[in-house]
Amino acid sequence: MTGPAVTGPAYFGKHRQESRTGTFSPPGSGPDADGALAAQVIVIAKEPVPGRVKTRLTPPFTPAEAAALAEAALADTLAAVADANLTRRVLALDGAPGRWLPPGFDVIGQRGGGLDERIAWALADARASWSAPVVLIGMDTPQVTPDLLAAAAEPLVSGDADATFGMAEDGGFWLLGLREIDPALVLGVPMSLPDTGARQLRRLVEGGLRVLPLPALTDVDTADEAERVAAILPDSRFAACLRALGSGATRQAAAIR
């Protein structure tokens, strides 16, 4: 899934410590006893293995360094999801869980070929075990906050919107929330193009859905985007990792010399 960078308050919270184990038991349709919204968030992600993630960061970074940045971004994203006021958290994962996964997540495997299929079936698979609205994000926006996720879910729970949607600066999208799941709303939408976000939004509107837009965020795909996001998240894992590795601009200048 590929918004100017959001410059509002960044989220640096701690993981929730409670863990859901065993079979997921769906709650009722209203808020949980603790006030959590009756909605679920899916993070669709790849295991941060060198050579398989963030390949557009190489160069100036090595595959191992790009994977380290991907792991840091994923850890920040999962931390925000863990502290969001929502009932269920799901990781749709291509690969195996690692130390970056906090407690409290249901892990499901990805299925399908292209990204459109993997998104569509992750939405459908999460919905199959609980008929609550679903908000899906990727692993590329470490600047996401619990408040943004709640803002995406609440209109779906209340029925004020059929879909919530967050565009990305590169023309893609970083968030898709749906009150009702229909794979046809995603299947066949060309991914990783400059107009993917516009195409996906058009598919939702043409499907008769009431769509609520959310603030645009920057997907981290390039060294320049990494530096921009780290600048607004100075206390994040992602920024710390980038500082430890050195900026892409410094690396490129050294290579030229």
pLDDT tens digits, residue range 176-186? 999 999 999 99
Question: How far apart (Å, rounded) are the C-alpha atoms in residues 55 and 243?
Answer: 19
- For the chain, give the percent of residues with pLDDT over 70: 83
pLDDT of residue 92 exceeding 70, the answer is: yes
pLDDT band at 35, cuts 50/70/90?
Answer: confident
Question: How far apart (Å, rounded) are the C-alpha atoms in residues 68 and 248?
Answer: 14
The answer to whether residues 144 and 77 touch, using CB atoms and an 8 Å cutoff, is yes
What mean pLDDT is predicted for residues 1-21? 37
What confidence score (pLDDT) does residue 24 get? 57
In this predicted model, what pLDDT tens digit does every residue of 123-169 receive, in sequence order? 999 999 999 999 999 999 999 999 999 999 999 999 999 999 999 99
- Backbone dihedral angles phi then psi of residue 92, each to the nearest 5 degrees: -95, 105
Within 8 A by CB and 6+ apart from 242, the residues are 69, 72, 226, 227, 230
What confidence score (pLDDT) does residue 11 get? 36
Instruction: Tell me the pLDDT of the chain averaged across its residues.
Output: 88
Question: How far apart (Å, rounded) are the C-alpha atoms in residues 84 and 87?
Answer: 9
If one compares 54 and 33, the residue with the highest pLDDT of the two is 54
pLDDT band at 76, cuts 50/70/90?
Answer: very high
Within 8 A by CB and 6+ apart from 31, the residues are 37, 38
- Whether the bond into 234 is cis, omega within 30 of 0: no
pTM: 0.87
